[in-house]
Amino acid sequence: MSHKLPFSSIVNKTIASSMKASKNVICFGLGVTDPKGIFGTTLGLEKKFGKDRVFDVPASENALTGFAIGASLNNQIPILTHQRLDFALLSLDQIINGAAKWLYMFGGESNVPITIRMIMGRGWGQGPTHSQNLHSVFSHIPGLKVVTASLPTDSANLLYSSIFDPNPVIFLEHRWLHNSLGDVPKTFKKDQLGKCKIIKKGKDITLVGFSYMVLECIEAAKILEKYNISCEVIDVRTISPIDFKTLEKSVLKTKRALITDTSNSFCGISSTISNFFYSKIDNLLNKIEILSMPFCPEPTSYKLLDGFYNDRYDISNCVLKMFKKNIKVINKNKIKPDIPGDWFKGPF
């Protein structure tokens, strides 16, 4: 029987395995060698691989990304980690005008194999500037691959594939996933980018999710089984590029879809997927629905946060409405809106 590990530990072991696989892999970022080790994801790496390959850095995100680009052009394979996606916004110039453009500017003859890990998601009233889910921003940029890990075991192969991809990858980890449990693969794969995964097969409706919303879709599917609604759950996993073929095949079967998003849908990935369904699939039984957040920054107070985020109950009620069932599922064990459970650890 396998011993399951937290998502954070699986990320840690994946980085370690990549560093064992290639001496050119380096790992750095603000807090990488701190006692907390970026939520446990980088703990012990400095001791295993030395200060030349695993190191803390000054708080200068734009300069660090430039350093990563330079290192990658000198046969290194950098893993740059930000404790918050919000901090990485200071490095957009290097990411967009440097890393993403490099392959195009040099006729495909020079690559920038960078993986930039960004932690996103909410917790403990962090408010507008420390809780943003900006996956759609990065997916808009040609030259960047964007990964939204969800299930712990999958995250290992997705991260390993990202590290050894020849071009820049934005690897997004939702903060609420770090304590979810999974297995470390016996062998790591390098070919997992650009592939959706069918988590659960069904025949009545397709639930599309990525990042943390995949877990909510899985739980919503269990709730909806009680009302004789069979859900097919798909984890998009890579939102740039998107595996439209798998999504299309599912909705051709179910003729219905609910797309869940950890952010708002305006100019978003969920809107892109919805538009694809409408352009490719005839005879839909319902209009394609999107369940996303309001088009405004996250408030800080618990009172204002109540109802801001969606969960399995919101998904279930949306689907029940699509099926014209006059039923409402109620969450009887509601917790604070920015704390998923007692297991959620801080301080960030």
Name the packing angle between helices 269-280 and 244-254 (round to 10°). 60
Q: How crowded is residue 149: how many other Cβ atoms within 10 Å of its Cβ?
A: 28
The active-site residue, picked from 61, 216, 289, 298, is 61
Q: Could you please report the per-residue DSSP string of 201-261?
A: --SSEEEEE-TTHHHHHHHHHHHHHTTT--EEEEE--EEES--HHHHHHHHHHHS-EEEE-
232 is catalytic: no
CA–CA separation, 208 vs 202, rounded Å?
Answer: 12
CA-CA distances (angstroms) from residue 20 to 16, 53, 74, 134? 6, 11, 19, 32
61 among known catalytic residues: yes
Residue 260 and residue 207 in contact, taking contact as beta carbons nearer than 8 Å: yes
Distance from C-alpha of 160 to C-alpha of 190, rounded to nearest angstrom: 6
Distance CA 186, CA 105 (A): 39
Closest alpha carbon to 318 in 252, 223, 254, 249: 223
Is the separation of the CB atoms in 148 and 239 below 8 Å? Answer: yes
Determine the residue type at 177: L
With CA atoms as reference, report the closest residue to 224 among 200, 250, 249.
200
Supply φ then ψ for residue 257, to 5 degrees.
Answer: -155, 140
Which tokens is 142 given? 């040609």
130, 135, 174, 178: the catalytic one is: 130
Q: What are the strands, taking DSSP E only, across the chain?
A: 5-6, 25-29, 54-55, 77-82, 115-120, 145-148, 169-174, 181-182, 197-200, 205-209, 231-235, 238-240, 257-260, 289-291
Residues labelled as active-site residues: 61, 130
